[in-house]
Structure 1
Amino acid sequence: MKRIRIEALMFLVFLFLIFWGVDSYMGVSNFFKTLMLTAHDLLINTVFFIMAIAVLTGGFSALLFEFGVADLIDILLKPLIKPLYNLPGVAAMGILSTYFSDNPAIIALAKDKRFMKNFDRWQQPLLCNLGTSFGMGLIVSTFMIAQGTRMSVNLFPAVLIGNIGALVGSIASVRIFSVYTKNKLGTFSNDEFIPEKYYTETRPGSFMERFLEALLDGGKSGVEIGLGIIPGVLIISTFVMMITFGPKDQNVGYQGLAYEGIPLLPYIGEKIFVVLRWLFGFSNPELIAFPLTSLGSTGAALALVPKFIDMKIVTPNDIAVFTAMGMTWSGYLSTHIAMMDELGYRYLTGKAIFSHTIGGIVAGITAHLIYMFF
């Protein structure tokens, strides 16, 4: 009871300090007006746009799985999986399932004994970092390419480079994490090894029936993803926006408009801008908001991009880095604990997060270097 009272008191003091700071800077009325208008604009102009992309990509992904294209890609990728990740070739299915949907898709595979018995015990926790590295990959890539219209630039090459960066980042993440899993779990072989024959099941019926059912079921999964990102976008993105941008008109001051706020992140970004520019080639301190937001929600991070483009502070190099880090860090802080728990290795969560943090940084640096080279 005493602990509850102390926590309540500390929380009230924390709230008072926030409101005191906000009131002294932009005014409480402007703050709440900006809060509501920003959340509303994000919902109408960003969330529904991302949802539309998720529905289309969901339908397309379902067709790839239904008609065996994903299995064909899986077969082509298998020779690369062992040398790149030191994992069984069937792990390619984990990459495909998360790339075409989201991080938790790897858990559905982990529940399948046919799939998991291909892995030694020390390899099983690595599936968390492997899957997270490609979460929402198709949605992120499609969204970024679509922003080329706003920038009047073909962003496909930059997005392709971003995907390569995410691949390199995933290798770094999995390889670093494997050092810890080998030390903790040993390197004993799986006595119940099953030959790698894992394929997705198809629906019964004619070609047209399967086509329509797969298309509509995939679209429904896209709706679920679109609905699932609403809390992250409206809460996290609104908060990030309000500590990224200042008043719309410096001469007039705060008017309670959408996307106004206290420019805290740019202040921090300016202090480390030399590092950001050297590592990622960022063209503006405000861009630090994207990778930081990706840690909690990639959907929320995507919501920042149109605003950056409207402000003319983003370049194709930044898009490449955003794509790489957005995929690799696709909300992993909010999903890693649950995913590691589902895999049965909660005690290794700290090592998984540390490894994946390094992987995301490697992904961003790789995308920048490749973009500069080409």
Structure 2
Amino acid sequence: MQKKHIFSLETGVFLVILIVFFATFISIMGSASFFKTLMATAHDLLLNTVFFIMAVAVLTGAFAGLLNEFGLVHWFHLLLDKLMKPLYGLPGIAAMGIISTYFSDNPAIIALAKDKSYIAHFEKWQEPLLCNLGTAFGMGMIVSTFFVAQGGRAGINLLPAVIIGNIATIIGSIVSVRLFSKWTKRKLGSVHKEVDKTEPHYREIREGNAFERFLEAMLDGGKTGVDIGIGIIPGVLVISTLVMMLTFGPKDPTIGYQGLPYEGIALFDKIGKILFWPLKAIFGFDSPQLIAFPITCLGSTGAALALIPRFLDHGLIKPSDVAVFTAIGMTWSGYLSTHVGMMDALGYRYLTSKAILAHTIGGIVAGFSANLLYRLFF
């Protein structure tokens, strides 16, 4: 723990920012409406979005647990094995990192990296690449299932868009990993390490008969989903509440602010109009407010997903946008909030800035690819 003087410049600057922040909202919305909307938005997000995402996470977690217990995850690994070297320049066993993070979240790959029998398959310069590889597929199953479910609620078939988004994610992840590898090779390519070339063909299973293992795997996987659901609460309530209040204006402009959930100062609408043509060219967005989704994904994909029901209610989203959202939501998956810790856990903190730069480019490529592929095939 570091110490800092209480009268440091940092404190003064933060105080000024805090005053400007509250003054901006209150001057436009009024103090009563601002605080009422703040609390009402957070409360509505908790009840109608967080618990929905948690339900999705529990179901996908239980499904993933069964896939792992009965060997299908290892089959997927063997199927992807021959693709990893040409696509990513990584050993086939790296596919386990993709699968583990797709069914859970970014940090799942750290648990693999800490396994000596797993990391022994990687050369030194390849080890840091696991951070970008895992992050690119974080919460993939949850993001995909969430969008399909939202399409069902809105009466729209979004499955084709979600599939395109998943394909675009692969493209973005390749760009991220390959670009990052140029720096890791330069820094670590000369560091010698004995690499285990063998491939495991056996897996560990639970004790008991098939039915007992089925129940345990399903319930343990569901518990993982609960952990993910609880883990996204701070991000959704803090980040999404702020983003919502920066995205939308008063519900009824003729009446003005009423302190209702999701009212705000519509700042992203103004920013989106300034950046409209670049956003339309890259991502195909027709609505300036949609810039809120990729911006929120930088910190938390769970928080970004909380924006989707409101976007659908306002008729702002078309299927091609869902393809882009799926790709960006998976590829970035809150990487600014996890990359530092993940790179530190891998033991390569000094390469964090390069990892973040490569992953930023990878996410933009994923979103652009999703937009291009959707328009090409649909």
TM-score, normalization by structure 2 = 0.97
Matched residue, 1:238: 241
1:198, CA displacement in angstroms?
6.5
Q: State whether residues 43 and 230 of structure 1, in contact with CA within 8 Å, keep that contact through their aligned partners in structure 2.
A: yes
Pairing 1:91-102 to 2, within 5 Å after superposition: 91-102=94-105
Matched residue, 1:136: 139
1:200, CA displacement in angstroms?
4.3
CA distance in 1 between partners of 2:366 and 2:348 (Å): 25
Q: What CA RMSD, in Å, does the superposition of the two structures yield over aligned residues?
A: 1.3
1:261, CA displacement in angstroms?
0.5
CA distance in 2 between partners of 1:164 and 1:192 (Å): 31
Matched residue, 1:5: 7
- Of residues 350, 357, 370, the one that matches 1:367 is 370
CA distance in 1 between partners of 2:16 and 2:60 (Å): 46
CA distance in 1 between partners of 2:265 and 2:90 (Å): 46
Matched residue, 2:164: 161
Listed one character per residue, the Cα deviations across residues 231-250 of structure 1 (whole Å, up to 9, x for unaligned) are 00000000000100000001
Q: State whether residues 65 and 200 of structure 1, in contact with CA within 8 Å, keep that contact through their aligned partners in structure 2.
A: no
CA distance in 2 between partners of 1:249 and 1:186 (Å): 60
Change (3 A) 1:349 1:200: farther
Change (3 A) 1:2 1:209: closer
Return the letter of the residue paired with 1:253: G
1:22, CA displacement in angstroms?
1.8
1:10, CA displacement in angstroms?
2.7
Pairing 1:185-224 to 2, within 5 Å after superposition: 185-187=188-190, 190-197=193-200, 200-224=203-227
Matched residue, 1:178: 181
1:41 to 2:57 alignment? no
Matched residue, 2:257: 254
Matched residue, 2:353: 350
Pairing 1:280-291 to 2, within 5 Å after superposition: 280-291=283-294
CA distance in 2 between partners of 1:271 and 1:199 (Å): 56
Partner SS state of residue 252, structure 1: coil
The count of residues paired between Structure 1 and Structure 2 equals 374
CA distance in 1 between partners of 2:4 and 2:155 (Å): 60
Moved more, 350-359 or 198-207: 198-207
- Of residues 294, 306, 325, the one that matches 2:328 is 325
1:305 to 2:308 alignment? yes
Change (3 A) 1:188 1:9: closer
Partner SS state of residue 250, structure 1: coil
Q: State whether residues 106 and 138 of structure 2, in contact with CA within 8 Å, keep that contact through their aligned partners in structure 1.
A: yes
Partner SS state of residue 265, structure 1: helix
1:283, CA displacement in angstroms?
1.8
Q: State whether residues 115 and 198 of structure 1, in contact with CA within 8 Å, keep that contact through their aligned partners in structure 2.
A: no
CA distance in 1 between partners of 2:130 and 2:273 (Å): 37
Moved more, 118-127 or 19-28: 19-28
TM-score, normalization by structure 1 = 0.98
- Of residues 61, 72, 93, the one that matches 2:64 is 61
Listed one character per residue, the Cα deviations across residues 28-79 of structure 1 (whole Å, up to 9, x for unaligned) are 1111100000000000000000000000000000000000000001000001
Partner SS state of residue 243, structure 1: helix
Q: State whether residues 123 and 195 of structure 2, in contact with CA within 8 Å, keep that contact through their aligned partners in structure 1.
A: no
**Structure 1: unaligned runs, 5 residues or longer:** none
**Structure 2: unaligned runs, 5 residues or longer:** none
CA distance in 2 between partners of 1:92 and 1:338 (Å): 22
Listed one character per residue, the Cα deviations across residues 332-364 of structure 1 (whole Å, up to 9, x for unaligned) are 000000000000000000000000000000000
Return the letter of the residue paired with 1:201: E
Matched residue, 2:149: 146
Return the letter of the residue paired with 2:48: N
Identical columns (%): 64
Q: State whether residues 133 and 327 of structure 1, in contact with CA within 8 Å, keep that contact through their aligned partners in structure 2.
A: yes
Return the letter of the residue paired with 1:179: K
Partner SS state of residue 5, structure 1: coil
Change (3 A) 1:199 1:36: farther
- Of residues 16, 19, 32, the one that matches 2:19 is 16
Q: State whether residues 164 and 370 of structure 2, in contact with CA within 8 Å, keep that contact through their aligned partners in structure 1.
A: yes
CA distance in 2 between partners of 1:44 and 1:18 (Å): 27
Change (3 A) 1:276 1:11: same
